[in-house]
């Protein structure tokens, strides 16, 4: 049996969605009482977030490597890292594991490519929007990434850490995010990447100005494809 490792907790709000969607996906495809054979390690996000803020990415990577190796030793035969931002340290995880890391950037890039999208807006943490680890991954699929203005990026980042990761989803933040998508559409964006795994929770049920590509949902779909492969 294939066991899928899920390294989450960053934040647990989105990890809960991963768990629900993976199990729903297996049940929809196999029926009956089937559910997803998963191994889950959920970290304490406060420590990881502090290392992010301090720029101590090597130390954060060390913590995730230990957790990922534990999942591998427990029997996981592939890994989902249930966060966009921490894919900055994906190379360290890949080097430390003998099982595949199913990369969230590949899940998003493949979906955009298949939809014929060439220019996509990106909303996420400031690390995901400003640094090149995510952008370069998407460029492999021929995707040009557009991001908000610096002041808007700062507010998007604040909302993620101060609200979304704490389970707070306000109308004011929802309106602000939709306004940023409108601004990026005016700059030529053909679609929008929800490049933080909590943003889909905020925009659920909205009528956005652009087609949305939810990174968490696409990552789950990649995990299901691997898990249910004949």
178-214: burial string, b at 16+ Cβ within 10 Å, e else = bebbebbbeeebbbbbbbbbbbbbbbeeeeebbebbb
206 labelled catalytic? no
Return d(Cα 187, Cα 225) in angstroms, integer: 34
Cβ of 68: how many Cβ atoms within 10 Å? Answer: 24
The helix/strand/coil state of 170 is coil
CA 103 to chain centre: 9
Return d(Cα 112, Cα 107) in angstroms, integer: 9
- Active site residue: 77, 125, 196, 197, which one? 196
Return d(Cα 81, Cα 137) in angstroms, integer: 15
Comparing C-alpha atoms, which of 145, 64, 62 is closest to residue 101? 64
CB 96 within 8 A of CB 65: yes
Q: Enter the tokens of residue 153.
A: 């990026």
125 labelled catalytic? no
- Active site residue: 77, 83, 128, 197, which one? 83
Return d(Cα 203, Cα 194) in angstroms, integer: 9
CB 160 within 8 A of CB 179: no
Q: Which residues are catalytic?
A: 83, 196
């Amino acid at each position: 049996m294939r066991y899928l490792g899920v390294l989450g907790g960053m934040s647990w709000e989105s990890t809960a969605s991963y768990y629900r969607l993976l199990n729903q996906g297996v049940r929809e495809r196999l029926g009956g009482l089937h559910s997803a054979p998963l191994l889950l390690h959920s970290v304490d996000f406060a420590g990881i977030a502090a290392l992010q803020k301090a720029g101590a990415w090597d130390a954060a990577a060390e913590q995730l490597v230990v957790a990922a190796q534990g999942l591998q030793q427990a029997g996981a035969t592939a890994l989902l890292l249930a966060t966009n931002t921490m894919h900055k340290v994906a190379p360290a995880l890949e080097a430390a594991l003998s099982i595949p890391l199913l990369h969230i950037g590949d899940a998003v890039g493949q979906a955009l490519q298949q939809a014929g999208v060439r220019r996509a807006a990106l909303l996420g943490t400031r690390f995901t929007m400003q640094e090149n680890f995510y952008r370069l991954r998407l460029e492999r699929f021929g995707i040009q990434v557009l991001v908000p203005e610096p002041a808007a990026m700062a507010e998007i980042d604040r909302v993620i850490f101060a609200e979304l990761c704490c389970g707070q989803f306000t109308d004011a933040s929802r309106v602000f995010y939709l306004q940023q998508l409108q601004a990026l559409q005016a700059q030529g964006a053909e679609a929008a990447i929800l490049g933080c795994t909590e943003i889909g929770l905020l925009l659920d049920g909205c009528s956005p100005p652009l087609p949305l590509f939810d990174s968490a949902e696409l990552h789950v779909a990649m995990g299901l494809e691997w898990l249910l492969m004949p």
